[in-house]
Structure 1
Amino acid sequence: MEPRLNFYKTNPEAMKALGALEQRIARCGLEKPLVELVRLRASQINGCAYCMDLHSSDALKAGEDARRLATLSTWHETPFFSDRERAALAWTEALTRVAETHVPDAVWEGVRPHFTPEEVVDLTLLVSTINTWNRFAIAFRKLPA
């Protein structure tokens, strides 16, 4: 597989806009390990090799446990994730698969006890942003280094 184009060089203004979203995410109150789990899970669902490589590496650097990362795609079946993380991962999956799920009420009811309204908005921004990055990386064939 060959890269199609360098979207950073081709349209720096578009990438600047995505960078502004990342700056907001960096300032939000969501804990860094959770942010990386969400980014990695969405990237797994979308099949984005570049983002999976990047965010698994970032998660390990931030102190994430390799065992949790190895079982992230089966988080439903493992005891390694907190209730808050499980709610975030369910929200991530529902939003990433929005055309299929339409974000069911049960997922909404599951996220509400674990996140403040402001955090749910930040979590939604996080999920939406990583899905956007996945689409750029997949569409233009950005490859892991």
Structure 2
Amino acid sequence: MSTRFKMAEVNAPAYQAGIAMEKALQNSFLSPIQKELIKIRASQINGCAFCLDMHTKDALKYGETPQRIFLLNVWKDARELYTEEEQVMLVIAEEVTLISQSGLSEETYAKATQFFTETQIADIIMAAVTINMWNRIAMATHMPVAG
């Protein structure tokens, strides 16, 4: 599969808007590892090799353990490895990624309010929205996995 084109060059203003979304998340309450867990989980669901390669490497760089990365795809069967807050973040990431199935459920939102403020929930949602955007760009343009 060959790369089709570089979105950053062909539609620089739109690509820069995506970069701005990413920069806005730098000021969120989410830790670098939490952001990477959201990015990895959404990328697993979407099947984005480019993003999985990038974000698993980044997670390791930030100090995430290989075991938690390896088991993230089946985190519900390995709950003991993830905090309750992380579990809620992962459910939000999954429901936002699979938005057409049922949206962000009332159950998940209610659980999230037990741990997070509205602003923090908004940050989690935006982290999921942003990686879903990048997944779609990478997959639509056939961005190659780094060597």
TM-score category, normalised to shorter length: over 0.9
Deviation, structure 1 residue 28: 1.1
What is the count of residue pairs matched by the alignment?
145
In the alignment, does 2:14 pair up with 1:14? yes
**CA displacement 1:57-78 (0-9 Å, x = unmatched):** 0000000000000000011011
The normalised TM-score by structure 2 is 0.96
4+ long deviations beyond 4 Å: none
Instruction: Give the aligned partner of residue 82 of structure 1.
Output: 83
CA RMSD of aligned residues (A): 0.8
Instruction: Give the aligned partner of residue 113 of structure 1.
Output: 114
Instruction: Give the aligned partner of residue 63 of structure 1.
Output: 63
Deviation, structure 1 residue 55: 0.3
Could you list the runs of 5+ residues in structure 1 that have no partner in the other structure? none
Instruction: Give the aligned partner of residue 94 of structure 1.
Output: 95
CA distance in 2, matches of 1:73, 1:89: 10
CA distance in 2, matches of 1:45, 1:143: 18
Deviation, structure 1 residue 102: 2.0
Instruction: Give the aligned partner of residue 104 of structure 2.
Output: 103
Instruction: Give the aligned partner of residue 135 of structure 1.
Output: 136
Aligned residue type for 2:69: L
CA distance in 1, matches of 2:75, 2:119: 25
**CA displacement 1:15-54 (0-9 Å, x = unmatched):** 1111111110011111111110000000000000000000
Aligned residue type for 1:68: R
Aligned residue type for 1:135: R
Could you list the runs of 5+ residues in structure 2 that have no partner in the other structure? none
Does the residue aligned with 1:113 lie in a helix, a strand or coil?
A: helix
Does the residue aligned with 2:107 lie in a helix, a strand or coil?
A: helix
CA distance in 1, matches of 2:102, 2:43: 17
Does the residue aligned with 2:30 lie in a helix, a strand or coil?
A: coil
